[in-house]
Amino acid sequence: MFKYFLPNEHVKTVFDIQPEQLIEQGIKGIITDLDNTLVPWDVKNATDEVIAWLHQMEAAGIKVTILSNNKLERVKVFSEPLGTPYVFSARKPLKRAFKQVARKMELRKEEIVVIGDQLLTDVLGGNMAGLYTILVVPIVKTDGFFTRFNRKVERRILAYMRKKGKITWEE
């Protein structure tokens, strides 16, 4: 059961993920979380750095879709100015939304990576959908109400996996 909480990779930020690496792995699509993955959860718009990263992926032919549990208004305000496809109220970790995005991208699951900052939503959902998962360190230490609860559970899972030697990175 704990294997579903184990990401394939762990990086500090999305900016550590480069298109050349993804292309080498055969990746043609990214499903990314929004809050605390691309920008802090309380920041409305994309930063110049996020915009540059998205353009870099697009220039390399890698499709990007934002998959968020947040409400329409939050995700739309962020995504539409960028021209980036999005899914709101995704109900992660349920795999339905991940599979829906994969179909819209017209890619096989082996060609898609899921990037997110939460084990209980992004990594668990991506793994259950059979996708490659990359866990990023949350951008800020503060979270919304429900995410604070998830973080407590995550800390316990990470401590268990660290004790068992399943992960080696530091928080």
In this structure, what CATH number is given to the domain that contains residue 22? Answer: 3.40.50.1000
Kindly state whether residue 112 falls inside one of the protein's structural domains: yes
Q: Mean of the pLDDT values across residues 150-159?
A: 77
142/135 Cα distance (integer angstroms): 17
Q: Is residue 171 part of a domain?
A: no
Total domain count, the chain: 1
Can you read off the two tokens belonging to residue 29? Answer: 């699509």
| Per-residue confidence band for 21, with pLDDT thresholds at 50, 70 and 90 | very high
44/64 Cα distance (integer angstroms): 19
Whether residue 154 lies inside any domain: the answer is yes
Distances (CA, A) of 7 to 87, 115, 119: 22, 10, 8
**Average pLDDT over all residues of the chain:** 91
Residue 141 clears pLDDT 70, i.e. is over it: yes
Q: Is 49 helix (H, G, I), strand (E, B) or coil?
A: helix
pTM (2 d.p.):
0.87
From residue 25, alpha-carbon distances to 15, 19, 32, 55 in Å are: 17, 10, 17, 20
